[in-house]
Amino acid sequence: MKKYSALFHSFISQYFVYRSHIILWRLRQILSFLLMHYFWSAVYLRRQELFGYTQSEMITYILLIFVFSNSIFSSKTFEIAEEIIRGDIMNKLLKPISYFSYLVTRELADKTVTLAFTFVEILILSLLLKPEFSPPVNTTAVVLSLLQLVIGLGISFFISVSLSFLAFWSSNIWAPRFMYLIVASVLAGNYFPLDMLPRLLYIGIILTPFPYLMYLPARMYITGIPEEYWYHLIISMFWLVATYLIAQKMWRKGMKEYSFFGK
C-alpha cells in the first residue's frame, strides 16, 4: 500500500510541473461550462419549464455534467497505448508492482486533481454568475446518484483501457478514441438531458453504455429515483461487467502476442 501511496503523490506532483498547461486546460473547461450556461439561460428567458425541466433544474444539470464530465473524461488511460507502442510498458511490467494497480492509482491521482480544480471553479463561477441551483430530491437520490456515477466511472475506465489495448495490434489508435469521445460526449448527455429527445430515440440510447456515464447520475440527483431504476441498474451493471471482460480478454490476448525490440 505504501508504494501505491508514493506513486499517488508522485503522479499528483507531476501535474504541477507544467503550471501554464494546467491554467490553459482549466480555462478550456470553464469556457465549455460558460457556453452551456448562457445557452440554456437564453433558452429559458421567457419560459418557466421546458421538456419537464425548470431553469434551476437545467442549470443544476449542466453544473453536474461539468463535474461528472471532468471526472469521466479526465483520464490517463490513453497513455497506455503510447507505452505499448514505444515499448515502455515492458519497464512497468518488470517492476515489483501490479500493473493494474498502477493504472488505478494513476487514474485516482488524475481524478483527484481534476475534481479539486473543478470544485474551486464551481465556487468561483457560482459567486460570479449567481445561478439558482435546484436542491436534490432526497438523500437516497444523492447516494444512488453517486453509486451510479461510480458504475459510470468503471464503464468509462474499461472502455478507455480497451481502446488503448488496441495498440497491441495497431499503432493507429487515435481514430477509434476520437470516435469514442465524440459518441460518448453526445450520448452521455454532455450537451442536454437525454430525456428531451423523442421517446423512441431515448429508449435506443438508454440501451448503450453511455447514458450511465453522466446522464443518469445527474438526472437522479435532480428528479429523484426513476420508476424504472432497476432496469437502468441492470443495464449499467451489464455494461460494467461486459466492458471489464472485454478489457481483460484484450489484455490477455495482447500480452500473449506482444513483442518489442530495443528496450
Partner 1 sequence: MRHIRLFWLLTTFSLKKTLMNPMSIVILLVGKFLRFGMFFLFVWYLMTYTKVLSGFTPNQVLLFYLTFMIVDTFAQFMFREVSRFKRLLVSGEFDSILLKPHHPFLRILVGGMDIVDLVLLCLYVGLAVYFISQLTSVSFVHILLYMALLMNAFVIVASIHIAILSLGILMTEVENSIMIYRDVTRLGMFPIDMYQKLLQFILTFVLPVGIMITVPVKGLLNVLDPSWYWISLFCALALLLSSNLFWRFSLKYYQSWGG
The site for partner 1 (CB under 8 A) is made up of: 20-21, 24-25, 27-28, 31-32, 34-35, 38-39, 41-43, 45-47, 50-51, 172, 174-176, 178-179, 182-183, 185-186, 191-192, 196-198
Residue 192 CB, shortest distance to partner 1, in Å, is: 6
In the complex, least distance from residue 153 CB atom to partner 1, rounded to whole angstroms: 23
Residues 6+ apart with CB under 8 A from 78: 160, 163, 164, 177
Nearer to partner 1, 116 or 175 (CB): 175
User: DSSP characters for 79-104?
Assistant: HHHHHHHHTTHHHHHHSSS-HHHHHH
78 vs 99, beta carbon nearer partner 1 = 78
Residue 21 Cβ vs partner 1, minimum distance, rounded to whole Å: 6
In 3-state terms, what secondary structure has residue 217?
helix
Q: How is residue 128 annotated by DSSP?
A: H
Question: By C-beta, is 192 or 215 nearer to partner 1?
Answer: 192
Closest distance between partner 1 and the C-beta of residue 130, in Å?
A: 12
Q: Which is nearer to partner 1, 1 or 42 (CB)?
A: 42
